[in-house]
Amino acid sequence: MSATVSHDRLPRSFYLRDVVRVARSLLGQKLVRVHQGRRLAGVIVETEAYLGVEDLAAHTVGGRRTARNQSMWKVGGSLYVYFTYGMHHCMNVVAQPAEQPVAVLIRALEPVEGVEAMRAHRSARGKIAKKNRLLTDLCSGPAKLCQALAIDRQLDGVDLTTSNQIFIERLRCRAFSRDRIAQRPRVGVAYAGAWADRLLRFYLKGNPYISRP
């Protein structure tokens, strides 16, 4: 046994639950990326739930199943990474059983391990905003955190319960209480009609690491 504290990896059963429940329960858990032998990690502070075939904002709306989004159809605990705007990657945690194409977009982290490597990754990509030298802006957006943790399509479809490259460790046994979680409309989905107004974005109230106030 190691003398250091070891945190349990979240088990399959965590991910098989209702996607909104998973989105709330992921707050406060630790996302770990092992990259070039180093741990890059951050505490999840902001998420969004995407509800599948009926959700006009989801990539799987209407039952769409394409080369890009096929990972969303996998079993809960799988990773879905997509590329957009010609330059950005975003990562999602798939929830519920296979063939139920729902997922949780990870929108922001509080960086806690490998911060200097994260900064290097963010700087390497063209210009880095001066404000991004601040710890609070290093992982304060879905594409920013993927850049910082070196997450791209190579990781699409991996199983978070077994992968050695990326996984989620349990820091909290219980989800935060309702009064500590803000519930807002999702970002960037104005096109989604009635679904644009649904309160499917979750973040820790008052947390300085979220993507926007």
Q: Which residues of the shown chain bind DNA in the complex (CB under 7 A)?
A: 48, 50, 57-60, 64, 66-69, 72, 80, 83-88, 90, 92, 103, 105, 122, 127-130, 132, 137, 141-145, 153, 186-189, 191, 211
3 state SS of 83:
strand
Least Å from the CB of residue 137 to DNA: 7
Nearest approach in angstroms of CB 159 to DNA is 18
Cα separation, 32 vs 165, whole angstroms: 8
Max Cα–Cα distance, the chain, nearest Å: 53
Closest CB to DNA among residues 137, 204: 137
Q: How far is the CB of 67 from DNA (least distance, A)?
A: 5
Q: Tell me the one-letter amino acid at 138.
A: L
In this complex, which beta carbon is closest to DNA, that of residue 145 or of residue 175?
145
Residues 6+ apart with CB under 8 A from 64: none
**Closer by beta carbon to DNA, 127 or else 180:** 127
Q: Which amino acid is at 92?
A: N
Q: Which is nearer to DNA, 29 or 211 (CB)?
A: 211
User: Residue 19: what are its φ and ψ, rounded to 5°?
Assistant: -60, -35
Shortest distance (Å) from residue 127 CB to DNA: 4
Minimum distance from residue 37 beta carbon to DNA (Å): 26
Instruction: Find out whether 138 and 111 touch, Cβ atoms under 8 Å.
Output: yes
Upper half-sphere CA count for residue 149 (Cβ side, 13 Å) = 39
Q: Which is nearer to DNA, 83 or 176 (CB)?
A: 83
